[in-house]
Structure 1
Amino acid sequence: MTAGRATPAGPQSDVPPAADGSSTELAPLDVVVVTGLSGAGKNSAGRVLEDLGFFVVDNLPPALLQPMVELGARGDLRRFAAVVDVRSRAFSSDLQESIRQLAEAGHRPRVVYVHARNEVLIRRYESVRREHPLQGNGRLIDGIDTERELLTGIAGDADLWIDTSDLNVHQLRATLEASFVPDGELPEVVATVLSFGFKYGLPLDADLVVDARFLPNPHWVPELRPMTGRDAEVRDYVLAQDDAGAFLDSYGEVLRLLLPGYRREGKRYLTLAVGCTGGKHRSVAIAEEFARRLNAEGVPATARHRDLGRE
């Protein structure tokens, strides 16, 4: 069977209002339960769903699944995911019963079962020098076999099976996006445009770095020196320079080329760093303008200023 479609990640304008506190009727949620073999990648799958806009709870006992969903339904939560591990001999039946109760309550539960071949799981466990949670005093393969047996029931009810034996993290992401993102719609990239001063060092978390020091420095204009790139006078001065508009236009084209590729490769967050000498005038004004243009083109962007106020 294949999994149903989830609503897209990111800002939403069509989120239903929260349930009326005076009413006992709860709005239905999209619920995804991620389970499967230890070492197969359940936590990685949970992180992908979080990037897709789900509220994710890790290592949730089956008995707490329905209370957590009902708690979220009383607020504005509409997408909920839980990573559920083997915890007892009754794990499978407990989880199956919780999922049945969620469906009867009107929610939309779906199960993602993550698994891998035995030799792959053994190699992964040996690489991190950890014991299998069900290994006990036996061998690693004994723990894996016991877990497979315990998961037989829930595995048979899964909406989506993912074999991670030959998948890397990017391929795992693509598999989940294909099931939980509407047809042809890739999750958006969220951008941070960060101004900084070169004299304080490069930002370590920058994906792209551009240099605004080719523009005349407002520091040498006495009336502009005490101001910052957030002030209209400095902003107008910087953006009025001969090459400023061409620079912004040209780098905007570079971003238009890069962003679809970032989406395809599963990158969800982009940090564009804009530097000048001290991070006070030129880089601030350019960063603010980059953020404004990105937002105007539908890319959520925020301007941040690392070194503003250090001088």
Structure 2
Amino acid sequence: MAGAQRQDPGEILIVTGMSGAGRSTAANALEDLDWYVVDNLPPQMLRPLLDLSEMAGDTLPRIAVVVDVRGRDLFSELPEAVQALRGRSRLRVLFLDAADHVLVRRFEAVRRPHPLQDEGTILDGIHRERARLAVVREDADLIVDTSQFNVHQLANRIVELFSDESSARHTLTVVSFGFKYGLPPDADLVADMRFLPNPFWNDDLRSLTGEDPRVRDFVLSQEGAADFLEAYTRALVPVLEGYQRENKRHSVVAVGCTGGKHRSVAMTIQLAERLAAVPGVAVRVKHRDLGRE
């Protein structure tokens, strides 16, 4: 009925990405967050699904659609379908990825062939899928690398990204990390705190973390620390405003030091406090390597 139509289009999330990267886990987590989940939908059905969402009113406010290469030749029409719908709805694309060797190990663990493997190896299928998904990945609103995640960690990541967004137009995660453990694969921007003296070499601070006021005060008192915070915050404000204009709903700013325990943690907290003042932005803090030896 026309009277049941919503003035505001509902939200549609397309979940896609590499086979074995965790689409089923992500779909289950979204379903637990009260998203209406449709699995293995051909791209040609996205427009009818949007029509149904609009007619359903508030009964279908958030729909997640899993679209992947199981659709074979139909999948090639996904980029065109997404572009056609972007101006009509609150539509986002979540792309799940993982390193090739991780995907091979996951397929071997479940003893299933890759959907594009044909007569070749699992790795052959992965390479074919990467080539087919290159355009989709490039246009994705959010890319999550699941290489280091188990199913529970991936589910938690989905909950972090898609729950309690309230009225914020953009969700920013500021994450501290240690360079010796590798860069966060989902980082949009990376800042290096190794230009500051390391509290690790201070006997009174070594056993503490950047969450402790004593470490915080030590880090912030160093030459260049306050200037960095002021300048980096000022530089990020127009970036976050631009993300909102471009309807990019999530981003990750990574702040690193050697081990991810002192400098990066202290500066992450300070940076997050300042960026929380940007209108339309919800800020989350994550310390990836805190507690690692």
Provide the TM-score with structure 2 as the length reference: 0.52
Q: Residue 122 of structure 1 corresponds to which residue in structure 2?
A: 104
Change (3 A) 1:66 1:176: same
Distance (whole Å) between structure 2 residues aligned to residue 63 and residue 54 of structure 1 = 21
Q: Residue 49 of structure 2 corresponds to which residue in structure 1?
A: 68
Q: Residue 99 of structure 1 corresponds to which residue in structure 2?
A: 82
Structure 1: stretches of 5+ with no match in the other structure: 1-17, 185-311
Q: Residue 39 of structure 1 corresponds to which residue in structure 2?
A: 20
Distance (whole Å) between structure 2 residues aligned to residue 103 and residue 118 of structure 1 = 30
Structure 1 moving runs of 4+ over 6 Å: none
- Mapped pair 1:149 → 2:131: yes
Which string of whole-angstrom CA distances, capped at 9 and with x for unpartnered residues, describes residues 176-216 of structure 1? 222212359xxxxxxxxxxxxxxxxxxxxxxxxxxxxxxxx
| 2:96/2:146 contact within 8 Å kept | yes
How far residue 124 of structure 1 moved from its aligned partner, in angstroms, is 1.0
| 2:67/2:75 contact within 8 Å kept | no
Alignment of 1:1-311 (within 5 A): 20=3, 27-75=8-56, 76-86=59-69, 87-89=71-73, 91-92=75-76, 94-105=77-88, 107-182=89-164
Distance (whole Å) between structure 1 residues aligned to residue 158 and residue 136 of structure 2 = 19
Give the residue type in structure 2 aligned to 1:130: R
| 2:43/2:74 contact within 8 Å kept | no
Aligned residues: 164
Distance (whole Å) between structure 2 residues aligned to residue 159 and residue 39 of structure 1 = 20
Provide the TM-score with structure 1 as the length reference: 0.49
Percent identity reads: 44
Change (3 A) 1:62 1:172: same
Give the residue type in structure 2 aligned to 1:101: A
How far residue 101 of structure 1 moved from its aligned partner, in angstroms, is 2.1
Q: Cα RMSD over matched residues? A: 2.3
Q: Which of the pair has more CA radius of gyration?
A: 1
Instruction: Name the SS for the 1:68 alignment partner.
Output: helix
How far residue 162 of structure 1 moved from its aligned partner, in angstroms, is 1.1
Give the residue type in structure 2 aligned to 1:47: N
